[in-house]
A and B are shown apart, each in its own frame.
Chain A
Amino acid sequence: MQKQITEANLRLLIDSLLLKGQRVVGPRQSGAMVLYEPLSSASDLVFNEQPRRSAKEAFFPICEDLLEYRKNGQQIDLEDIEPSRFPETVLIGVRPCDAAAMPVLDSVFSWDYKDQFYLERRSRTIIIGLACTSADDACFCTAVGLSPGDSKGSDLMFSHLVNGGFLVESHTDKGALFLESWKDRFTEPDGSKTLPLAQPEATPFDLKKIKGWLDDHFEDPAWDSIATRCVGCGACAFVCPACHCFDIIDEGTEKSGKRRKFWDACGFSKFTNHASGHNPRDLQPKRYRNRIMHKFKYYDDKFGQNLCTGCGRCIRVCPVGIDIAGILEEIEKK
């Protein structure tokens, strides 16, 4: 289903949602950077800049409470967080590279044991994607099978119209229901043209070929040259839409506190350290190898998908200039 919306009507729509008490999250200025954060008014929205961190934190926050404990003599009182009480959310202005990561992450959080913290947020959130009209040197979504207009993961997809406003395309029942509920704000498409999509300068990788090499090259001198530069800061994992490693830590005292889930990164030196002091990934190249292997082989082996949407953020933030697209290109040539 296709509709159209003017910028003025979009603002009215968002402000009506907020007025109703609906939680609306979108790209907005947050300190020195643009992040996906709750909006307080439609004017907060920043549509012309890719947020510094991905949209995964709307479902898998940097830090979240899992339970609260309180000591009561020799007893412990536990309080469950009850993810079923998470608020309904409209997540708007989501870049295609961010939205596309969500169906990928669904696999790990829902296979076997269901992580309701993630899944409840997923089911209570509508994702409104926004097609990209500009790309920078780090963007490479087109190299991993996506595109700046890709609707993967989006319930509704917005595309900028040449004369202002947006073309709106519904891709799921959730999206169609939203259009129906707010039909006064949308109009039928009048045939206006959409702005040309961004064109990242990236040629498609042969991901099968890359995986083929990874299948047989756990041990290879290339890992040393690829990753000796890595300082293990974990920034790449923290800005990545698909990285999902986490830690579980108690914060508080022996008497009371919270158990919380935090983002973690396989690049950190202690990530796999055993209690005995033995560390299976004792050197940075082994840790970086895991990053590449997990993204392009292990996750594919298990769930048939890659953990990379070509958003380019890891390339932009790496303090030592590691370029994952360049590494994939190098592997592809082998």
Chain B
Amino acid sequence: MSTPPENTTRRRLLMAVPLAGAAVVGVGFWKMLSGMQHGSFNPHNINAPVLNRPVPDFSVPDQAPGQGFTAQDLRALTQPVLVNFFASWCIPCLAEMPTLMGLKDDLPMWGIAYKDRPENAAGFLKHSGNPFTRLGNDHDGRVGIDWGISGVPETFLIGPGGIIRWHSAAPLDVDTIRSTLAPLLESLKKS
């Protein structure tokens, strides 16, 4: 080559750029795939609702066998509470219920039946057990939209003063509770 050597080195580096780019993207894909296998990465995770803000203004009417509640009720709280959206027509909600029942003694839970007939929701709770201390019905799904949910079940952890601290758009399981919810509760209780 008649080009000077330093020019050739630059040229060589330039020609290696596509390989480097592909390698970076490839490593990214590998991370994603292995993350998906371990469940630590989900590209379709919908983590839409905004966290660390007060609960939106809303009110849900009574849902048998519990008593409805409003944003004011949540904001008046001094202890953390779990708000769970569920529905009788939702199979993952049914699967989640035993986990909630196991948790109810440690953490008060308030439930909102999402787009459900009151009698169906009541039947569902009679059948699967009722972990909720208060219960509301969001018949037309508008309260769900105010909370920013995209489906059921979705769970929110409300800190003292009615601040949304944590959110899960997937059914709760023991692993999630142990790895994310429990440490968060600890830190909330300390502060």
User: Does A associate with B in a complex?
Assistant: no
Footprint of A on B, CB under 8 Å? none
Footprint of B on A, CB under 8 Å? none
